[in-house]
Every structure is written in structure tokens, then in C-alpha cells.
């Protein structure tokens, strides 16, 4: 077998896949009886599988990634031209697209100044964790090393990021984890009874949820806590937009105890939440670290960035005579030029096509459509999100908020798939809480696309729940 492929020979691909590919986050037993799905082609917001069946992809490549849609010739051309000229050199040297994308990115992130290139969201998060640890050693005798993370948040699949993982089902059976990571409570208003805060609402709830973080800091000892790592809007843990009042109080707490604020924009970053380039920018936050991956180049090339401030950068170059006094880290493929070349073109498209505005407008339509479905289908207990990043939580009972059975939520996804619409559902996330349908079409989605998605959900809910 030489890897060549005749367009008419898709069955060979299916068999090769079945025999040799270990897919991500999926049970393989069913593939003994059913074919694995092969996605063969994509254009705009639509993809075609091996049987030629067309689907509207309401999850941007499954995991919130293909923000500008499929088949973008200008990105492919930019990558081709760059690779022909200069494909790779380690990031100890610079590259033309690496420098130019960093400048473009920092222009969108007032207060930030340095970009560290890497391969994946997990790795970008680990770079920030390593910096926090090194700062602790350089300045605080190693003491201020603890990293706080939040219940329901996710920061990656490596062991260190899983040590900061707030989704117990993802972590189950992979321990022991790294020490020095401490969990803080979630801030989900819909399930505020779990936090003992059901007597509060709106801003009062948001401030109280943030104060729960302060309680953990005081319990651990502020002089042991180096950083707080949070998603601006929690993604796989249930699409949780923060309550009013939460973020200003979080920022205040971080400043009070000299704790670095690390915002994980791996999902929210580069336009997904509408209006702003980054999720944190909706809330007036001034972070110390911002990590991003998925939408940075919309999946046309692998690229992730760990972005920080000049203040943090300066801490790593204040004594050049000390041979350990710099960030002693490398990410081999952080030196690939395809990533920043694709990212420049990706960002240009978002700007030129006014996609931040389209994301806001179409996000509002998606939200309104889901709320209309909520009136019709009692099984929708809550609709939440920001921009084209929305979730609908399915419950068996609106008063008790008892989640529907996981297999029922999955049946809704399967029914939509049969109708040619790919939606998502929280998957092996929080035990008993894999019940939130997820919607994140590309930022180019039209009103008709949005309506097609919610019509499919309407039909599916009717069939699954009667």
C-alpha cells in the first residue's frame, strides 16, 4: 500500500480506518458492526461523508474549531506559499509569519505583548503553568506555586492539564495527577442550588460565586497560590456563560492576593463569542496569560499561542548572568510556519467579512430560536451561551432540574445527524451531566443555516421525547 487513493475506492479507506485508526473520544466496539464515519469534503458550513451525504456542521469540525468555514482557498494558498518558501525552523529563531501574526494578534489584545507559539491548547496551557511555577521558584522560594482551576472547566488532555481538569469523567482512571492544583467551585447560575446559593440571583449570585474562589484561596493560604486558570465561558463542561458581577470580583480577588490570572480562550478565542476577538474582552478583564488554539487558524494548520504581558516577560529576563533565568522550554512544532501563515489569513477573513458582527447577529438568532423551542419542549431546562457558542440543557423535570438520561440526549444528536445536521452534546464530562446540547456553527453561518439547525432540533426533540 503506497497511500495513493482512487476517488472511487472509498471502501478501501473505510477498511484502512477500521483496521488501523484509533479515533478520539469514542467507543470502538460499534465499528465492528458499523462503518466509522469518514468526512471526505467540506465547503462553507457543510461537510460530506463517505456515502456522499451532506451535513450542516453546527459544531465547526466537531470541537469549535473551523471558525471561518471549510474550503477557504486563500488560507490554503497562504500556507502553500509559505511552506514552499520556508517550512520550518525551531522557534529559537524567528519566522516571517510568526512575527507578523504576533503583531496582528497583540494589536487585538490591549495590555498583552508576547506570543509563545506551540501546537495544541493543552500545550499552551502547560506553558503558562510552567511559567507560574518558575515565577514561584524565582520570586517566592517555590511557595507560591499552586494553580487554581474551576469545577466543570477543561484545559486539555495531558496529565498536567488534567490535573487542572474540572470534569471528573474525563479524569477517571488516569490518575494520579500532578500535585499543586486546587479546584474552586463553578459559577453556573442554573445549578446554583449545588453551591448553596439558590437564594441569590443576578449580580449578587455572580459576586457570591466569585467569593467562593476567595474562600479556597484563604483556606490554601494566599502565599501558596500562584495563578487562577479559568475559561471565560465554560465549553465542554456545559456551555456556561458567567453571571453578572462575577468577573470584576474575580479580577479584584486576583489583585488582592497577587495571583496571576490565566484565561483559557482555546474555545472562545478569535471571534467565537461575537463582537470581541476574545471572550474575556466582554468582561473588562486584564489577564496575565491568555491561551488559544482551535479557532486561531480554523483548523487549516495546527497552531496554539500562549500570550502574556510585558510584566511577566520581564520576570524571565531580569538577570541574564543567571544561566537558569529564562523560560527553558521548547515546542518543536511551534516553529512550523504553516500555523501563523494560516492564522494571518484567518484573521484577515474575520475582519474583512465582518464575522464578529455576523457571529453576534447569528448568535442572537440561534439563542432566540432555542428559546422558542424551550416554550414548546419542556425538556429544555436552560438555554445559555455567547455568540455562536450556545448550549441547551435537557432536563427530565424543570423544577428538580433532574437531567435527562444521557442516552436520550445522544438520541437527539443521532436524530439530527439522520436529518443531515451535526450538533454536539457534552461528552464524558461531568458525571450525570452529559445532557447539554452544543451548537457552534462557523462564524459565516446564515439565518437559513441557523433555522435549519433549530428545525432539526425541534423535530428530534419531538421524536425522542414525544
Ligand X SMILES: Cc1ncc(COP(=O)(O)O)c(C=O)c1O
- Please tell me whether residue 237 binds ligand X under the rule CB under 6 A: no
Q: In what side-by-side order are the strands of the sheet with 146-150?
A: 114-118, 304-308, 289-292, 260-264, 225-230, 146-150, 181-184
Identity of the residue, 134 or 426, whose beta carbon is nearer to ligand X in the bound complex: 426
- Please tell me whether residue 155 binds ligand X under the rule CB under 6 A: yes
Query: Cβ 452 to ligand X, closest distance in Å?
Result: 25
User: Which residue in 75, 266, 292, 411 binds ligand X (CB under 6 A)?
Assistant: 266
Query: Cβ 149 to ligand X, closest distance in Å?
Result: 11
Residue 260 backbone phi and psi in degrees, to 5: -75, 140
Say how far apart CA 371 and CA 374 lie, in whole Å: 5
Q: At 383, list the grid cell.
A: 438555554
Identity of the residue, 120 or 454, whose beta carbon is nearer to ligand X in the bound complex: 120
- Please tell me whether residue 264 binds ligand X under the rule CB under 6 A: yes
Identity of the residue, 240 or 373, whose beta carbon is nearer to ligand X in the bound complex: 240
Identity of the residue, 122 or 454, whose beta carbon is nearer to ligand X in the bound complex: 122
**What 3 state SS string does 213-252 have?**
HHHHHHHHCHHHEEEEEECCCECCCCCECCCCCHHHHHHH
Query: Cβ 366 to ligand X, closest distance in Å?
Result: 19
Query: Cβ 280 to ligand X, closest distance in Å?
Result: 13
Identity of the residue, 185 or 269, whose beta carbon is nearer to ligand X in the bound complex: 269
Binding to ligand X, residues 114-143 (CB under 6 A): 120-122, 125
Q: At 73, list the grid cell.
A: 482557498
Identity of the residue, 101 or 154, whose beta carbon is nearer to ligand X in the bound complex: 154
- Please tell me whether residue 156 binds ligand X under the rule CB under 6 A: yes
Q: Is the link from the previous residue into 176 a cis peptide, with omega within 30 of 0?
A: yes
- Please tell me whether residue 63 binds ligand X under the rule CB under 6 A: yes
Q: Buried (b) or exposed (e) across 187-211, using 16+ Cβ within 10 A?
A: bbbbbbeebebeebeeeebbbbbbe
69 touches 442 (CB < 8 A): yes
Identity of the residue, 235 or 404, whose beta carbon is nearer to ligand X in the bound complex: 235
Stretch that binds ligand X, among 6-14, 108-116, 228-236, 371-379 (CB under 6 A): 228-236
Give the DSSP letter of residue 395.
Answer: B
| Binding-residue total with ligand X (CB under 6 A) | 16
Query: Cβ 158 to ligand X, closest distance in Å?
Result: 7
Stretch that binds ligand X, among 148-156, 345-353, 375-383, 390-398 (CB under 6 A): 148-156
Say how far apart CA 429 and CA 413 lie, in whole Å: 16
Query: Cβ 233 to ligand X, closest distance in Å?
Result: 9
Query: Cβ 376 to ligand X, closest distance in Å?
Result: 31
- Please tell me whether residue 231 binds ligand X under the rule CB under 6 A: yes
- Please tell me whether residue 236 binds ligand X under the rule CB under 6 A: yes
Identity of the residue, 132 or 395, whose beta carbon is nearer to ligand X in the bound complex: 132
Burial class (CB in 10 A: 0-12, 13-18, 19+), 161: buried
For 45-107, the DSSP string reads TEEEETT--EEEETTIIIII--TT-B--HHHHHHHHHHHHH--B--TTS--HHHHHHHHHHHH
Binding to ligand X, residues 288-347 (CB under 6 A): 293
Stretch that binds ligand X, among 104-112, 151-159, 428-436, 450-458 (CB under 6 A): 151-159
146 touches 229 (CB < 8 A): no
Identity of the residue, 154 or 246, whose beta carbon is nearer to ligand X in the bound complex: 154
Identity of the residue, 180 or 236, whose beta carbon is nearer to ligand X in the bound complex: 236
Binding to ligand X, residues 391-450 (CB under 6 A): none
- Please tell me whether residue 387 binds ligand X under the rule CB under 6 A: no
Say how far apart CA 73 and CA 401 lie, in whole Å: 46
Say how far apart CA 394 and CA 190 lie, in whole Å: 12
Position with the least CB separation from ligand X = 121
Identity of the residue, 122 or 337, whose beta carbon is nearer to ligand X in the bound complex: 122
The residue ranges of DSSP E strands in 361-447, in sequence order, are 380-385, 390-394, 421-422, 424-425, 436-439
Q: At 401, list the grid cell.
A: 432540574
Say how far apart CA 264 and CA 230 lie, in whole Å: 6
Give contact residues for ligand X (rule: CB under 6 A): 63, 120-122, 125, 154-157, 231, 235-236, 264, 266-267, 293
Amino acid at each position: 500500500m503506497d497511500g495513493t487513493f482512487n476517488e472511487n475506492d472509498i471502501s478501501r479507506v473505510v477498511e484502512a480506518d477500521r483496521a488501523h485508526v484509533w479515533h478520539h473520544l469514542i467507543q470502538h466496539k460499534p465499528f465492528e458492526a458499523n462503518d466509522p464515519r469518514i468526512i471526505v469534503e467540506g465547503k462553507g458550513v457543510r461537510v460530506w461523508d463517505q456515502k456522499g451525504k451532506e451535513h450542516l456542521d453546527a459544531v465547526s469540525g466537531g470541537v469549535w474549531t473551523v471558525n471561518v468555514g471549510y474550503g477557504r482557498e486563500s488560507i490554503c494558498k497562504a500556507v502553500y506559499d509559505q511552506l514552499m518558501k520556508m517550512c520550518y525552523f525551531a522557534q529559537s529563531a524567528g519566522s516571517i509569519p510568526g512575527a507578523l501574526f504576533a503583531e496582528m494578534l497583540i494589536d487585538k489584545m490591549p495590555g498583552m505583548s508576547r506570543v509563545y507559539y506551540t501546537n495544541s491548547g493543552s500545550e499552551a496551557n502547560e506553558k503558562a503553568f510552567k511559567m507560574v511555577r518558575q515565577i514561584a521558584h524565582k520570586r517566592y522560594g517555590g511557595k507560591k506555586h499552586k494553580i487554581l482551576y474551576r469545577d466543570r472547566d477543561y484545559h486539555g488532555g495531558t496529565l498536567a492539564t488534567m490535573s487542572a481538569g474540572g470534569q471528573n469523567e474525563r479524569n477517571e482512571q488516569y490518575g494520579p495527577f500532578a500535585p499543586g492544583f486546587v479546584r474552586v467551585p463553578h459559577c453556573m447560575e442554573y445549578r446554583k442550588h449545588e453551591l448553596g446559593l439558590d437564594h441569590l440571583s443576578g449580580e449578587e449570585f455572580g459576586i457570591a460565586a466569585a467569593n467562593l474562589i476567595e474562600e479556597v484561596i484563604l483556606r490554601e493560604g494566599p502565599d501558596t497560590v500562584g495563578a487562577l486558570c479559568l475559561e471565560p465561558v465554560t465549553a465542554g463542561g456545559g456551555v456556561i456563560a458567567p453571571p453578572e458581577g462575577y468577573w470584576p470580583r474575580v479580577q479584584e480577588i486576583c489583585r488582592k492576593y497577587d495571583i496571576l490570572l490565566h484565561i483559557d480562550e482555546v474555545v472562545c478565542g478569535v471571534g467565537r463569542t461575537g463582537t470581541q476577538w476574545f471572550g474575556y474582552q466582554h468582561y473588562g478583564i486584564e489577564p496575565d496569560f491568555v491561551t488559544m488554539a482551535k479557532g486561531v487558524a480554523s483548523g487549516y494548520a495546527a497552531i496554539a499561542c500562549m500570550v502574556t504581558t510585558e510584566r511577566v516577560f520581564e520576570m524571565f529576563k531580569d538577570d541574564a548572568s543567571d544561566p537558569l533565568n529564562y523560560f527553558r522550554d521548547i515546542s518543536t512544532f511551534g516553529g512550523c510556519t504553516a500555523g501563523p501563515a494560516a492564522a494571518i489569513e484567518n484573521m484577515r477573513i474575520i475582519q474583512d467579512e465582518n464575522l464578529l458582527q455576523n457571529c453576534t447577529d447569528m448568535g442572537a438568532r440561534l439563542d432566540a430560536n432555542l428559546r422558542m423551542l424551550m416554550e414548546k419542549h419542556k425538556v429544555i431546562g436552560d438555554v445559555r451561551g455567547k455568540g455562536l457558542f450556545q448550549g441547551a440543557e435537557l432536563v427530565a423535570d424543570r423544577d428538580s432540574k433532574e437531567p435527562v438520561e444521557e442516552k436520550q440526549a445522544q438520541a437527539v444528536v443521532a436524530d439530527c445527524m439522520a436529518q443531515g445536521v451535526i450538533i454536539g452534546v457534552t461528552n464524558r464530562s461531568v458525571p450525570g451531566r452529559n445532557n447539554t446540547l452544543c451548537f457552534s456553527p462557523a462564524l459565516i453561518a446564515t439565518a437559513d443555516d441557523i433555522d435549519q439547525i433549530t428545525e432539526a432540533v425541534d423535530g428530534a426533540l419531538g421524536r425522542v421525547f414525544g
